[in-house]
Amino acid sequence: MSDEAVPYTRELAPPDFVDPVIEFYKKDIDRTLLRENLKLTVAERFEKYEKFAEYARELREAGRRARKQA
Amino acid sequence: MDSNFREILPTLVAHRVKFILIGGGAAIAHGASRLTYDVDVVYARDPQNIACLASALADKTPYPRGAPPGLPFQWDERTIASGLNFTLTTSMGDLDLLGEVVGGGAYEQLLPYTEQWEAFGIKCRIVTLEKLIQLKRAAGRPKDMDAIAELQGILEERRKLKTKGAK
């Protein structure tokens, strides 16, 4: 049997491959949010995203205005 | 500018462009909750599809994103055929057109790993959640760690739902 190192093929691993780095990031996931999203249709998920993007845009604008006034 | 799925996807479909939605857009379709700033698609490289793509963006002022203004960039079949991956600004928003994607290859290779879904009154092909995780992993970008964790979380939640449904 060859002693050659096994090539690094993490990206080809199955999608549920347990990567310790990813597991670390997983602790911060809001699963309640994911569960709510999974109840929606694809169209509804995009609509929700658009509302969120609009909200984020308004916040960015507000921040910009506040910095200008300061 | 935030990603404008509502305008970009129907435009591509109206011009009969063969494409697969990947990246943040596909993540949203699968239930992810993070913001994304562009629309990423893998397009077929056959001459007919290249002609459709050229026509779809002809009046949308496509221009290489981040490039200095004034370059002699012309959006036509020749340009698309000569290139492969294009990161563009357009009048509709930012659009990444990929002839090939790391971990997924070209359109034809990615096609078996897609689902047809409906949104914005159109049907379009979206990469499966499982493949999307593999694509993100293959990209190997530190900024994707969070996204991969969220996508794997979705996969786990979907499996839990399936198990519950089966009981």
pLDDT digits (tens, 9 = 90+) for B49-60: 999 999 999 999
Name the burial class of residue B10, with classes exposed (0-12), middle (13-18) and buried (19+) by CB atoms within 10 angstroms of its CB: middle
Average pLDDT over residues A55-66: 89
Average pLDDT over residues A3-10: 45
Low-confidence ranges of chain B (pLDDT < 70): 1-2, 167
CB contact under 8 A, B152 and A22: yes
Query: Would A29 be classed as within a structural domain?
Result: no
For the question of whether the overall pTM of this predicted structure is more than 0.90, the answer is no
What does each C-alpha distance from A58 to A49, B26, B155 come to in angstroms?
Answer: 14, 24, 32
Q: What ipTM did this prediction achieve?
A: 0.85
- pLDDT above 70 (res A3): no
Number of CB pairs, chain A paired with chain B, less than 8 A apart: 95
Q: Does residue A11 contact residue B134 with C-beta atoms inside 8 Å? A: yes
Query: Would A52 be classed as within a structural domain?
Result: yes
Query: Would A11 be classed as within a structural domain?
Result: no
Residue A10 to chain B, least CA–CA distance (Å): 8
Residue A67 to chain B, least CA–CA distance (Å): 20
Instruction: For chain B, give every domain's residue range.
Output: 5-166
Q: What is the residue type of A35? A: R
- pLDDT of A1: 40
Write out chain A residues lying below 8 Å of B154, CB-based.
34, 37-38
For helices B5-14 and A42-69, angle between their N-to-C axes, nearest 10 degrees:
130
For B31, phi then psi, to 5°, come to 115, 10
- Bridge partner list, B20: B42, B125
- pLDDT above 90 (res A21): no
Query: Would A6 be classed as within a structural domain?
Result: no
Query: Would A35 be classed as within a structural domain?
Result: no
In whole angstroms, give the CA distance from residue B6 to residue B162: 30
- pLDDT above 50 (res A4): no
Taken in order B25, B27, B28, B34, the sign of the CA dihedral is negative
- pLDDT of A33: 93
Query: Would A30 be classed as within a structural domain?
Result: no
Question: Among the CATH numbers 3.20.20.140, 1.10.8.10, 3.30.460.40, 3.40.640.10, which is that of B5-166?
Answer: 3.30.460.40
- pLDDT of B26: 96
Query: Would A14 be classed as within a structural domain?
Result: no
Q: How far apart are the two ends of chain B, measured CA to CA in Å?
A: 45
Write out chain A residues lying below 8 Å of B24, CB-based.
none
Query: Would A70 be classed as within a structural domain?
Result: yes
CB contact under 8 A, A46 and B146: no
Across A1-70, where does the E strand assignment appear?
none
pLDDT digits (tens, 9 = 90+) for B127-155: 999 999 999 998 888 888 899 999 999 99
Q: Does residue B22 contact residue B42 with C-beta atoms inside 8 Å? A: yes
Partner residue opposite B157 with nearest CB, options A38, A46, A56: A38
Average pLDDT over residues A22-43: 91
pLDDT: which is higher, A3 or A54: A54
Average pLDDT over residues A7-20: 67
CB contact under 8 A, B103 and A16: no
In whole angstroms, give the CA distance from residue B129 to residue B126: 9
Domain that holds residue A66: 40-70
Closest CA to B154 of A53, A22, A21: A22
Residue A5 confidence class, pLDDT cut points 50, 70, 90: very low
Residue with tokens 């691993």: A13
Based on the structure, what is the number of domains in chain A?
1
